Amino acid sequence: MKRFIAAAGISLLLLVFVDCKEAGKIAQTSETRVARFKMGVLKEIGNPKSGLPLALEKGEVVTLEKIQSFKPATGAPVEYALIKIAGGQSGFVPASYLAKAAIVVTGNVKLYQRPSITSGIARGADKLKLGVVAFLENEDFSDGEWLEIVGGSNANNYFKGWVKGSGSVSRDTELVTAAVRMEQALEIYNNPKASEKAKAEARATLEDIQKNSPAPISTLAGDALSGPTTDTPPTPETKDEGIQPLQPATDEKPHG
């Protein structure tokens, strides 16, 4: 009986050890990333014909499994990220298409060239308005909390620089999701070339955001609904078909 109890105790300890080891492994290797824009996902690394029947939405959160290099037949090697998507599917996207996190501007914020208020205002700072979605590149805590962010879809609205990490920006997932939905709806709602059906759907989306989303996005959606639609077409976005680059190849990125 003593031998049986001892053996059972050892087995239980081993089971606990294995469970803790596996739990630790998951905690150490599971990191989240967000999609910088709407993109396709590949089943096979580097094979554009192996697209999964889904697309990541801008700001969608995924789990990063690993990053590995792929050497195409021509050109330089490309780093791909193996990601796990909500629902259990896995696939590959270029690692540069993912950001550490998405943020939303929730107040008055200044965009600096470096993580210091003495470094001067960065180019594109005027694009950083209330409700704008940006993506986190780096963090610096040497002089308080600073976040390096980037945003925009082309050279006309591109911005990159450093902001103070508290008070005027938020990483709240619900807020980011609402801001992305509003951004997409406004592109249609303010487009004079959009069909009446498309505009009606966009208006319904804005009404839902106004009623059910947190401030300041709900307020901005309400302001858009109460004001006249603009006659200016929206800034062109990257296409939604397949995996797309963050910046069009023909555009020159401004340097901050």
DSSP 101-116: EEEEE-S----BSSSS
Please enumerate in sequence order all residues whose Cβ is within 8 A of that of 242, keeping only pairs 6 or more positions apart, or say none.
39, 40, 48, 51
**Cβ pair 205, 177 in contact under 8 A:** no
Q: Given this model, what pLDDT does residue 23 score?
A: 34
**C-alpha neighbours within 13 Å on the C-beta side of residue 81:** 24
How is residue 50 written in tokens? 């192996």
Q: Given this model, what pLDDT does residue 21 score?
A: 34
3 state SS of 30: coil
Pinpoint the alpha helices (H) of the chain. Answer: 2-29, 173-189, 196-212, 217-226
Burial of 168 (0-12, 13-18, 19+ CB in 10 A): middle
3 state SS of 154: coil
Q: In the chain, which residues have pLDDT < 70?
A: 1-30, 228-256
How far apart, in whole angstroms, are the C-alpha atoms of residue 150 and residue 222? 27
How far apart, in whole angstroms, are the C-alpha atoms of residue 39 and residue 239? 9
Q: What are phi and psi of 4, to 5 degrees?
A: -65, -45
How far apart, in whole angstroms, are the C-alpha atoms of residue 26 and residue 128? 36
**Cβ pair 112, 121 in contact under 8 A:** yes
Diameter of the chain measured on Cα atoms: 86
For the beta carbon of residue 73, count every other beta carbon within 10 angstroms: 5
Q: Given this model, what pLDDT does residue 167 score?
A: 75
How is residue 197 written in tokens? 């059906």
- What's this model's pTM, rounded to 2 decimal places? 0.75
